[in-house]
Amino acid sequence: MTAETQDRRRLTAALLGPDAAPVPDGPPANVFRGALVDVGPHLLTLATPDGERRFVLTEETAFWRGGGSAFHELRPGEDVIVRCALGSHWVAERVWAGLARVTGVITAVDGDALEVATGHDRAPAAVVIPYRASGRMQVRHPRLEPGYLFDAIGVWDGDTVRALLPATSQPPYPAAEAPRRPAVRRGSMRVSGMVSWYDPALGRATGGNPLAMRTGLAYPALDRGADCGPGCDRATACAPLPLLSLGATVRLTNDCTGGAAALPVVACGAAASHFCDRCVACDSQERGRVAQLTLASFVALGGQPEAGCFNATLTAG
Amino acid sequence: MIETIREIQAPLLAAVLLLGALAKAVDRTAQGPAALLPARVRRPFSLAHAGVEAALAVALLVLAGPFNDLARGATAVLFAVGLATLYQLRKRDPEMGCGCFGGLSTEPVGWRSMTRCGLFTAAAAGAVGLPGSGLAALSDPTPWHGVALLAEAAVIAVLSPELGEIATRLRHPVPCELREAPPRRSLRRLRLSPSWSAHRPLLASTEPVDMWRHGCWWFARFAGEREGRAVDVVFAVEVGGLRPAVRAAVTDAYEDAPRAGSEDAPPVGTGAACPNAPSDASR
């Protein structure tokens, strides 16, 4: 975010009051990310931008690396994100290694390899669907063709994502033919729906990459006249989201856990704007994605990245 | 009487064609036959369709004699092809609107839109053979012209589901939080407001340094100077309304903008929301 967009929050608060633009929360205290230095049955060491950090592993510590796994499957140098138990900075509750997610519109298909456009402000992603995951992917993504939506979670393999878990059920129509949002009678700065996540660091150099622990969200309803810009490829979001710009701050409450945070809008969530899906967590009936959280914010708010979503209430003022 | 009815067809059809062309050119949602085409050619098709309709409308109004007959014949062919297309569209996608008036024609193709299309076909064909142009027919109107025009307009209104859509949109406009509004329009309205006049002497430039949107408000930040100190003059302009509310604030300009997470320092030396700034919230 530029200095100008950071100044917007201060000036918005000056005119509309502090509730319209709350001060963003600092980095989460119980989430850490870095490159794996060493791991044993009882201790995990990460190289983070703040130096090496050690975490105690217990019998309850859960590992994920493309699926439930054990500590010895993690490789030194691998991108690892750790969530500590509440109130603790050194007892690891959950550990994810090599996490990757691709959300967007399929632009090219070559056998089991796909290219996915992830939004006008992000690089296209290369995806490979390994044979062992192809059946599972086919059930929820039956049309792996250009123009159709794609959302999957997997692990990094160099610059390619190996897609292992479908993160949603693909709509049966191409992204360009999505039905129009029904008319909204009453606007609100408070909207409920599902949130997903994305990784601003793309799993790279997490030991020293400041993007790795970036907090905030990509918003699917940036105003086209300002920050979304002339190359804007966002659709009208399915949820009735108020139009905002970069630098705005919103309060986000996890409807499942009750966890809440004030987060800045740091990017355009054009890819998320195409989806009109529902997260099955907490039995919510609300459709549409209200935000695409950065990976660090998603984990800090109690989300399970391998589940892909949680239901949340977004308040923009 | 028959001659009177024939004479009003050209201007009436021209008005319908112009409205249809305008609606298709402005609205970007694919409705009607365009929705059946590949996505990349839908917009060009809609624009070409609008262009043909506009050209026929002008021809109906200004051409006379055999050229006008050509325009009337072409209009009849256009509506006849449209009728056949609507029939096919209804069979292929029963939920699709006809797209006759762009995004206003969202009601699924039904007997009303098809009857209307047939009526226009008959009207255009029936007017073939008249000597004068459409404008000439209007130059010397009789009361019977007015009666016939009103009666036919009433029939067309009954056959037009778009009127219901217009009424719905007027009753329930898009809420301001969700309404796309170009920032230039808000700037124009800002410059007409008393707040602008009150703060204009402080501004170093009348072009904003930054603009951003927050729900129902567009914000514009201007560089300024007060008592020898650099200041930011910020306006918030409400989206929508003919006389939107405008708020203003003057804050010290920071060399180093505060960073996210540590920017709770008050921006003031001069007062956050300028106490002297008139807030013309009347609408």
Out of B177, B249, B260, the one facing A14 most closely (by C-beta) is: B249
Structure tokens at A235: 């659709």
Q: Identify the CA nearest to A269 among candidates A22, A46, A29, A103.
A: A103
Residue A81, SS3 per DSSP: strand
Distance from CA of B170 to the nearest CA of A (A): 11
Place of tokens 């878990």: A165
Query: Which residues are bridge partners to A28 per DSSP?
Result: none
Q: How far apart are CA B191 and CA B183, in angstroms?
A: 13
Cα separation of the two ends of chain B: 50
Class of the CATH domain delimited by A100-173: mainly beta
Q: Between these two residues, B202 and A89, which has the higher pLDDT value?
A: B202
Kindly indicate the confidence band of residue A206, based on its pLDDT and cuts at 50, 70 and 90. Answer: low
pLDDT at residue B277 tops 50:
no
Structure tokens at A311: 């239901």
> The sheet that has B246-252: what strands, in order across it?
B210-214, B217-226, B229-238, B246-252
Region A185-191: what's the mean pLDDT? Answer: 85
Kindly indicate the confidence band of residue A182, based on its pLDDT and cuts at 50, 70 and 90. Answer: confident
Kindly indicate the confidence band of residue B261, based on its pLDDT and cuts at 50, 70 and 90. Answer: very low
Q: Which amino acid is at B212?
A: W
Average per-residue pLDDT in chain A? 90
Mind listing the pLDDT tens digit for each residue in B140-151? 778 888 888 899
The pLDDT of residue B263? 30
- Say if CB B279 and CB B248 are below 8 A apart: yes
Q: Identify the CA nearest to A10 among candidates B232, B237, B227, B205.
A: B232
pLDDT at residue B130 tops 60:
yes
Q: How far apart are CA B38 and CA B31, in angstroms?
A: 13
Structure tokens at A87: 């109130």
Q: Between these two residues, B72 and A184, which has the higher pLDDT value?
A: B72
pLDDT at residue B256 tops 60:
no
The pLDDT of residue A57? 93
Instruction: Find the closest chain B residue to A184 by CA distance.
Output: B174
Cβ contacts below 8 Å, chain A against chain B, sum to 140
Region B102-116: what's the mean pLDDT? Answer: 87
The pLDDT of residue B67? 84
Mind listing the pLDDT tens digit for each residue in B29-52? 667 778 778 777 888 888 899 999
Residue A103, SS3 per DSSP: strand
Q: How far apart are CA A212 and CA A219, in angstroms?
A: 18
The pLDDT of residue B180? 87
Q: How many residues does chain A have?
A: 317
Give the mutation candidate from A173, A186, A223, A290 for the B interface (greatest B CB count, under 10 A): A223
Out of A8, A183, A316, the one facing B215 most closely (by C-beta) is: A316
Region A198-215: what's the mean pLDDT? Answer: 84
The pLDDT of residue B212? 94
Report the CATH superfamily, name and number, of domain A3-27+187-315: RlpA-like domain (2.40.40.10)
Residue A237 CB-half CA count within 13 A:
34
Quote the radius of gyration of chain A (alpha carbons, Å): 19
Total Cβ atoms within 10 A of residue B53:
24
ipTM for the complex?
0.90
pLDDT at residue A5 tops 80:
no
The pLDDT of residue B7? 82
A11 touches chain B (CB under 8 A): yes
The pLDDT of residue B279? 42
pLDDT at residue A89 tops 50:
yes
Structure tokens at A75: 């490789």
Give the mutation candidate from B95, B168, B184, B213 for the A interface (greatest A CB count, under 10 A): B213
pLDDT at residue B275 tops 60:
no
Axis-axis angle for helices B2-26, B111-126 (nearest 10): 130
Q: Which amino acid is at B58?
A: V
Residues of chain A above pLDDT 90, percent:
63
pLDDT at residue A263 tops 90:
yes
Give the mutation candidate from B106, B187, B214 for the A interface (greatest A CB count, under 10 A): B214
The pLDDT of residue B267? 36
Domain assignments of chain B as residue spans, ordered by start: 2-171, 176-283
A29 touches chain B (CB under 8 A): no
Region A232-248: what's the mean pLDDT? Answer: 91
Out of A177, A184, A245, the one facing B39 most closely (by C-beta) is: A177
pLDDT at residue A70 tops 90:
no
Structure tokens at B137: 């027919």
For every residue of B130-160, DSSP letters joined together read --S-HHHHHHS--HHHHHHHHHHHHHHHHT-
- Say if CB A277 and CB A237 are below 8 A apart: no
Mind listing the pLDDT tens digit for each residue in B207-255? 999 999 999 999 999 999 988 889 999 999 999 877 889 999 998 886 5
Structure tokens at A259: 């966890």
Q: Which amino acid is at B128?
A: V
Q: Identify the CA nearest to A221 among candidates A263, A151, A273, A181.
A: A273
A147 touches chain B (CB under 8 A): yes
Distance from CA of B273 to the nearest CA of A (A): 6
**Distance from the Cα of residue A220 to its chain's centroid:** 12
Q: Which amino acid is at A208?
A: G
The pLDDT of residue B28? 66
Q: Identify the CA nearest to B198 among candidates B86, B277, B274, B122.
A: B277
Q: How far apart are CA B33 and CA B30, in angstroms?
A: 8
Q: Note whether A31-99 and A100-173 share their fold.
A: yes
Residue A80, SS3 per DSSP: strand
The pLDDT of residue B30? 67
Domain assignments of chain A as residue spans, ordered by start: 3-27+187-315, 31-99, 100-173
Residue B118 CB-density burial (10 A; 0-12 exposed, 13-18 middle, 19+ buried): middle
- The model carries a pTM of 0.79
Most confident of A59-63, A223-227, B92-96: A59-63
Domain A31-99: CATH architecture, name and number where available: Beta Barrel (2.40)
- Say if CB B224 and CB B232 are below 8 A apart: yes
The pLDDT of residue B227? 86
Query: Which residues are bridge partners to B252 per DSSP?
Result: B231
For every residue of chain B, DSSP letters joined together read -HHHHHHHHHHHHHHHHHHHHHHHHH--S--GGGGGS-HHHHHHHHHHHHHHHHHHHHHHHH--HHHHHHHHHHHHHHHHHHHHHHHHHHHH-TT-B--TTGGG--SBP-HHHHHHHHHHHHHHHHTTT--S-HHHHHHS--HHHHHHHHHHHHHHHHT-THHHHHHHHHHSPPPTTT----HHHHHHHHHTSHHHHHHGGGBS-SS-SEEEEETTEEEEEEEEEETTEEEEEEEEEESSSSS--EEEEEEEPPSSPPPTTS--S---SS-SS-TT-------
Structure tokens at A291: 């935000």
Region B201-208: what's the mean pLDDT? Answer: 92
The pLDDT of residue B228? 86
- Say if CB A162 and CB A155 are below 8 A apart: yes
Cα separation of the two ends of chain A: 20
Region B101-118: what's the mean pLDDT? Answer: 88
Q: Which amino acid is at A160?
A: T
Distance from CA of B177 to the nearest CA of A (A): 5
Structure tokens at B167: 């009424």
Q: How far apart are CA A317 and CA B215, in angstroms?
A: 8
Write out residues 250-269 of A within 8 Å (CB-CB) of B: 264
Mind listing the pLDDT tens digit for each residue in A127-164? 999 999 999 999 999 999 999 999 999 999 989 999 99
A182 touches chain B (CB under 8 A): no
- Say if CB A164 and CB A154 are below 8 A apart: yes
